[in-house]
Structure formats: C-alpha cells, structure tokens
Amino acid sequence: MRTSNPALNEKVFRGLPGSTYGSMGETMTLQGTVNKTGILLLCAMATAAWTWHLFMQSHSAAVVVPMLWIGTIGGLVFALVTTFKKEWSPVTAPIYALLEGLALGGISAVFEVRFPGIAIEAVSLTFGTMLVLLMAYKSGMIRVTQKFRLGVIAATGAIMLFYVLEMVLSFFHIQFATINGSGPIGIGISLVIVGIAALNLVLDFDFIETGARMGAPKYMEWYGAFGLMVTLVWLYLELLRLLSKFKSRD
C-alpha cells in the first residue's frame, strides 16, 4: 500500500473512508498537499537539527545513537499505522516526520564522523533530484504509464526483498562484501538503487495529482505528503551510502 502501488486507482480513491468523490465536500488539492509536505519537512528538519546539535556539542556520534534507534523504530511503527489507516494521517504523518528526523540526524552524524561534509552533500543532492524530477514530470518529459509504474514497483520490490534477505543473513554473519563494497560493482549497484528511489518520486507526484483530480478526501493531502516524505528519506539514505562508497575510494 505504498504510494507507488498500482492498486491506487480510481476504485481505491472512491472507497476511502470519508470519500467525497463526486460530491461538493472539501477535497484534496495540490496546493494543500504541497503545504502539508512543507510541514512534514519542517518537522523532520527540526528534530534532525536538534540531534545534529547534540552531535556537534559532544563531537561524538555515540551520543545520538539512542535517538537514532528511537527514530528508526518509532518511525517504522507510525509509517505502518499511516499506511493502513490513511484517515489517521493528519496525526500520524507529523509524528512519523518528527521521529524520522531523529533517525536521520543520528545516521547523518555517524556518516559525518567518518566522511566530513557528506551530510550536506546528500541533502543537496536529495532536494536537487526532487526538483529536477518534478520539473521533468510537470513538463511531460516523464510520463507515468502503466508499464513505467509496474517497472518501478517491481524494481522497488526487488530492492526491498534484497534488503530483508541481507538483514536476515547478517544474523548468520553472511555479508555481501562485493555489493556493499566501494568497488565498481558496489558503486554501480548503489547508482541503480538511487535511480529507482528517485523514480519513486515521480510515482508520488502522479499519485498526488491523481488524488487531487479525483476529489480524494481532504486527509489524503497528509497521506500524499507522507508518501513523498518516505521516498525522500529513502533517497537521502541511498545517497549517503553512495557518497560514502565514493569517498572510501579516495
């Protein structure tokens, strides 16, 4: 039930709790979703900045590790709740963003210790990628066809399955050294994953535009913003990983 799910079609929008499709009630709008996205970004940046401030004061990543785990676990819980209870998103989406800020601040601090300057580079690339793809989508350079949608979804699913498999195998001390390394293969795979994460942004744009066009319930603005936030978080983490591989070769 991610925003890139092909099941998010007209029937799904019509069946949403509180749906006003075909009525004169208050509905989802593009501007409203943009505003909600801005609020979620501010929430995430606030807690990330606080975590980063703790790191800069102590000059040690160890102090932010508790926030990292609280943010990661809490963010996962609220992401699942938001996914399955979309009508709760006006409350759960901001909480998710606040928790993700803690996690991102902690993760960024860990990477910054080893690779100074990497965090600001990853942030710049993340927002730069989003803006470029948004312009390409609005101009019609990228069209979300059914084949495009299914291709991105299949690739995203394969990546997620690989990450789950990697996590399970790590408990048995089995590592994918070549894939996770800083060699040509490792960097090449990271580039592909970054590309797939970026294309998910296009699907999020299309989902938001479709919801607004079809008169989805007003709370879906929060859900659309949440979906975009999830993709941005994933893209940022993959860019951190890619940049760390490049820097490891220096």
- Predicted local distance difference test score (pLDDT) of residue 250: 62
Q: Choose the weakest-confidence range: 34-43, 50-59, 157-166, 185-194.
A: 50-59
Break the chain down into helix, strand, coil percent, rounded to 5: 80, 0, 20
Q: Do the domain assignments include residue 220?
A: yes
The answer to the question of residue 112 being in a domain is yes
- Give the tokens for residue 198: 């970026």
Mean pLDDT of 130-155: 92
What's the confidence (pLDDT) of residue 176? 78
d(CA 119, CA 123) in angstroms, rounded, equals: 6
In a domain, 4, yes or no: no
Of the candidates 144, 66, 152, 50, the residue with the CA atom closest to the CA atom of residue 105: 50
Does residue 233 contact residue 99 with C-beta atoms inside 8 Å?
no
Question: If pLDDT is split at 50, 70 and 90, which confidence band does 177 have?
Answer: confident
**Mean pLDDT computed over every residue of the chain:** 88
- 115 within a domain of the structure (yes/no): yes
Q: Report the sign of the C-alpha dihedral through residues 229, 233, 236, 238, in that order.
A: negative
Establish if 228 belongs to a structural domain: yes
Q: Is the pLDDT of residue 39 over 90?
A: yes
The reported pTM is 0.88
> Tens digits of per-residue pLDDT, 200-230?
999 999 999 999 998 899 999 999 999 999 9
Kindly state whether residue 7 falls inside one of the protein's structural domains.
no
Structural domain including 149 reads 28-248
**Number of structural domains in the chain:** 1
What is the mean pLDDT of the segment spanning 30-46? 95
pLDDT of residue 25: 61
> Is residue 1 predicted with pLDDT exceeding 50?
no
CA pair distance 79, 106, nearest whole angstrom: 19
pLDDT (mean) for 67-89? 94
pLDDT band of residue 7 (cuts 50, 70, 90) is very low
- 242 located within any domain: yes
Q: Who wins on pLDDT, 154 or 14?
A: 154
Give domain status of residue 22, yes or no.
Answer: no
- Comparison of pLDDT for 196 and 14, the residue scoring more: 196
Query: How far, CA to CA in Å, does 96 sit from each of 22, 76, 197, 212?
Result: 31, 8, 19, 23
Residue 95 is predicted with a pLDDT of 97
